[in-house]
Structure formats: C-alpha cells, structure tokens
Amino acid sequence: MMRHEVYITTNEVKVDGKVLSHNENGSALLTELYRAHVGDYPKFFKMDTLSKLGFVASELLLQAEGAPRFEPREDRAVVFFNRSASLQADTAYQETIQDPNNFYPSPAAFVYTLPNIVTGEIAIRNKYFGETSFIVMEHCDESIMARELQNAFLDPMTQSILGGWLDCTDENHFEANLFLVEKSHVPCSEVSCQQLNESTNNN
C-alpha cells in the first residue's frame, strides 16, 4: 500500500497531505527546503533544477517514512515519470554552444542533460540497488504509470518503490508528486494526473 507522499510545486509543499510552511517560491523554495530539512549534501548546489526537486522531494518523503537511512538495500526501486525530460538542463547547455564565436560547452550543464541523473542521485545517496528508471511521456497518464510500477514489481527482489511524477520546464515552473508504494498496491497517486496536467499547462 502507499505509505507516504510528498507534493511540491513552485509555491506549495505538502508532506502526507499536511502543508509545510515556507517563505520562498520557485527555485529559491528548493534551496530553502534543502537548508531547513537536509543540509548535509553540498552537491545539491551543483544540481540542475530537476535534480534539486527530486532530491528535496525524496528527502522529505524518506524522512516521513522514518526508516533507517543509508543502508544498502536491493528491495527498493526508484521509478519517475515526466513529460519534459531534462528540458531545463538541455536549454542551459544549448546556450553554451549556441554562438559559434563564443563556443564553450559546459560540462557542468551537460552532465544533467539526461532525466535519469536524478534517479541515480537518489539511489547513490540512499544506497538503493534496485531498478532505477525515468520514463518520459506526452502527459501524466495514470494507466501507464501504474503499468510501469507493476512491471518494476515483477523483479522478485523489489518490495517497494520510491516513485511518481517529477517535471520541470525551468527554474520557476516545476512539480513533484512522489510516493512510497508497497508491492501489494501500485496506484499512480492521490493527487490525480488531471491536476498535474492542469498545473503544467497553466505554467
């Protein structure tokens, strides 16, 4: 069954349905959440916005779970979905190679031009050795998400998944709806895909 859920947009944060107070909005909100609730992973400041969002959301989620952290485990997978892939990092990288007279490819931006970098960050941080995947689709589709979560559970080692919707188009337009789900139940989320699609379309 679903045990915990975190929902973050550019101006709202909820942990298990309870509003988490904050002062900032947009990308500054992610830094505020990091400083207030994590603070021990300096690599955060080098991440692109998608990775910052996934990192902070996963930290809040795992803190809500309250289980022992940073112990090797093969029974947990990380499965994320979105529709923008790594657009924000792609755009930032493109800007470094756009001008042929000022052509300076940025390795710091290039490293984040794959959306699954964030699943790797979370898996490494928490020593998860189960499946990690990031699936890009045209829009939030509950049936596809449920199917892919079910597929992940076909691995007999996988007993739980840290998964959900994680989308970012730029530093001030993003949403995360992450959850922990057990093998016995694999819903998309208590926050409907309709709500997420409307949020994205309005940004």
Domain count, the chain: 1
Whole-number pLDDT of residue 201: 46
**% of the chain with per-residue pLDDT over 70:** 90
Whole-number pLDDT of residue 185: 63
Whole-number pLDDT of residue 104: 84
What CATH number is given to the structural domain containing 91?
A: 3.40.47.10
Q: Which residues constitute the domain of residue 67?
A: 2-202
Complete DSSP assignment for 126-169: HTB-S-EEEEE-SS--HHHHHHHHHHHTTSTT--EEEEEEEEEE
Least confident of 3-17, 36-50, 158-172, 183-197: 183-197
Intra-chain end-to-end CA distance of the chain, in Å: 32
Q: Does residue 198 surpass a pLDDT of 60? A: no
Task: Give Cα separations from 13 to 25, 27, 73, 174, 199 (angstroms).
Answer: 10, 13, 28, 12, 14
pTM > 0.85: yes or no? yes
